[in-house]
Structure 1
Amino acid sequence: MRVGLVGAGQWALITHAPALAVHPGVDLVGVWARDPAAAAQVGAPVFDTFGDLVEASDAVAFAVPPAVQAELALFAVARGRHVILEKPVAGSVADGLALERLARERGVRSIVFLTRRFAPETREFLGAAAGREWASADAEWLSGALLGGPFAASPWRQRGGALVDVGPHVLDLLIEVLGPVTDVLCARRDAMSDATKVMLEHAGQRFSTATLSMRTPVLPSRLRVCAQGPSGVVELASRETPALECYHAMLDEFLDRSASTGGAAGSLRRGVEVLEVVARIERAMRVEQLARESLR
């Protein structure tokens, strides 16, 4: 399949481009980015316009900020191109729903690179959790990515913090284990430390908690997801598989299936569902902040 890459930031250079370049089922036709000099670092032909890249491709892979991705992906899907998306899938729920609807109408393939879902250790965890009775789950993702390093200067990451960047990974796993989120019971974020704590209710009155931060000085980053209930305990406490390997596994699945449907790993439906939950959590945080300010 001929695949064009959009974006030439650090994530594109260390993950997208290398995986696309070596996958046996992919012909990396080229790259387009707002900065041609950055695009030249990818090591693939550089296209002058996004439209030219779309015309030369069967599928388009995105490594750009969420709001930019939604706008460009809508353009590509409208022209019948398959799409490989990053999370969050869009900058707003409305844009995410529009993209999902158009992809369904045009019958194109779509997949969302929720990185950890394509790691073998995560699949082992989800396999152990499947079909069993759980009452609750707890998740934690702590890193110092916004304190320094290749992603610290990213405006959308700085603005949204851990909830928007790593939150989708955690929320995807919690939904997969406990079912759809039905309510946000509590949500709070300390902007200085990016310490974010949420409590969610899931279908069947099950509940989960998530602790997130990208301003915690810890190496390596910590990921843990633990489900508890009548079935006992099952835990994911590793993220050892490199993102590059996860992207390669994602490409295997993308090339093998005719469409992303239901709750399949990386489905656009799940990507939008997670986006909706993030938006609900952000609303709950604003309400909580206003309530605290009114008591001062």
Structure 2
Amino acid sequence: MTVTTGLVGAGRRAGVFASALAASPDLEFVGVWTRRTLAAEEFAKRYDVSVFADFVDLLDACEAVCFAVPPAVQGELAGIAARAGKSVLLEVPIAWDLADAERLTETVVAAGVVSQVAFTWRYTAEVQRFLQAHGPDRRPRGGGCRVVKVHRDQPAQADRWRGERGLLFDVGPHVADLLDAAMGPVVDVDAEDDENAWVTLRLEHRLVGPSESTLGSSSTIDYDEAVFEFVGADGKTSVDCSDAERTADYATMFAEFANAARTGEAHALDVNRGLHIQRVIEAADTKLRMGR
């Protein structure tokens, strides 16, 4: 039985989700709502779905909601959807700041609805193989990553929050999530930046040890780079996430969301996971501001 699902948003990210929604055998894509009516109409025509003039009307028409909007908008609307009894698929980060993330998590948990967070790097074949072979039970002694994003002066309207909050909130959640999954729960955080706005993120992992990562942007590269390296009993291992957004297995992500929505079983990457990672990123941001 398919799960009727609505989409909130009509930007670049929403386009990726809409395509996967339309192709999913497990979800029935019923329609889209966004504050930009013209953009919603383009989506509706392309995927032969309805445009909803009001967010509440969208909720009335579906069992689950997929969000592809900036975190400040998601934090508010996802809470409304959860209170209406809808399963929610959330973008990263789950809210604008830690207070909003905590409120959203409390709302979702109190409503007893299914939640899943789109940590899309976790849905690449390479990352899944790596975590199966080299998880924290193999007791890595250290690790980290280097992330370099192509510098873009004028982000799209829907992505302007990324320019405002910086790489720490853009790719930082994906970095922290993968390191936490590979090396064990993060229990302490430190961070610093330099005059070029490059961020060094240091995480302490329970019972395992430290990880150190660098995040920055450059105008001299043609494509994003994100490579993780770990040291342990097996020697050095690595996993490349440079092309993670393009190679992410959205079909699997949506299939798992549909299964969770049907069964009511909690997903490993639920809102609580989203809150944990947001706490890590917010702690790093606090350290950055204290050091300036």
Normalised by the size of structure 1, how large is the TM-score? 0.89
1: CA distance between counterparts of 2:11 and 2:194? 28
The match for 1:272 among 266, 275, 279 is 275
5+ residue gaps, structure 1: 290-296
2: CA distance between counterparts of 1:80 and 1:145? 40
Q: Which amino acid aligns with 1:144?
A: V
The match for 1:106 among 108, 111, 127 is 111
1: CA distance between counterparts of 2:259 and 2:151? 33
Aligned counterpart, 1:292: none
5+ residue gaps, structure 2: none
Aligned counterpart, 1:250: 253
Q: Secondary structure at the match of 1:217?
A: coil
1:156–1:230 distance in 2 versus 1, CA, 3 Å: same
Aligned counterpart, 1:34: 35
2: CA distance between counterparts of 1:108 and 1:120? 28
Superimposed CA distance per residue, residues 155-191 of structure 1 (whole angstroms, 9 cap, x where no aligned partner): 210111111011111110111112222222332254x
Matched, 1:53 2:54: no
Is this contact kept in 1: 2:190–2:284, CA < 8 A?
A: no
The match for 2:98 among 93, 96, 100 is 93
2: CA distance between counterparts of 1:237 and 1:4? 32
Q: How many matched pairs? A: 283
Aligned counterpart, 1:237: 240
Is this contact kept in 1: 2:121–2:241, CA < 8 A?
A: no
Using the TM superposition, name which of 180-189 and 106-115 deviates more.
Answer: 180-189
Q: Spell out the pairing of 1:1-296 with structure 2 (5 A cutoff).
A: 1-13=3-15, 15-43=16-44, 44-130=49-135, 131-144=137-150, 146-147=152-153, 151=156, 154-188=159-193, 190=195, 193-204=196-207, 206-240=209-243, 243=246, 245-257=248-260, 258-259=263-264, 261=266, 264=268, 266-289=269-292
1:93–1:259 distance in 2 versus 1, CA, 3 Å: farther
1:169–1:76 distance in 2 versus 1, CA, 3 Å: same
1:27–1:128 distance in 2 versus 1, CA, 3 Å: same
Aligned counterpart, 1:294: none
Alpha-carbon offset, residue 87 of structure 1: 0.2
1: CA distance between counterparts of 2:83 and 2:12? 28
Q: Secondary structure at the match of 1:60?
A: strand
Alpha-carbon offset, residue 146 of structure 1: 2.9
2: CA distance between counterparts of 1:116 and 1:78? 29
Alpha-carbon offset, residue 145 of structure 1: 5.1
Alpha-carbon offset, residue 229 of structure 1: 2.4
Alpha-carbon offset, residue 243 of structure 1: 3.8
Alpha-carbon offset, residue 154 of structure 1: 2.6
1:153–1:174 distance in 2 versus 1, CA, 3 Å: same
1: CA distance between counterparts of 2:128 and 2:58? 34
Q: Secondary structure at the match of 1:143?
A: strand
2: CA distance between counterparts of 1:236 and 1:244? 13
CA RMSD of aligned residues (A): 2.0
1:52–1:153 distance in 2 versus 1, CA, 3 Å: closer
Alpha-carbon offset, residue 151 of structure 1: 4.1
1:231–1:151 distance in 2 versus 1, CA, 3 Å: farther
Using the TM superposition, name which of 40-49 and 230-239 deviates more.
Answer: 230-239
Q: Secondary structure at the match of 1:278?
A: helix
Is this contact kept in 1: 2:6–2:58, CA < 8 A?
A: yes
1:176–1:155 distance in 2 versus 1, CA, 3 Å: same
1: CA distance between counterparts of 2:275 and 2:158? 26
Alpha-carbon offset, residue 261 of structure 1: 4.1
1:41–1:267 distance in 2 versus 1, CA, 3 Å: same
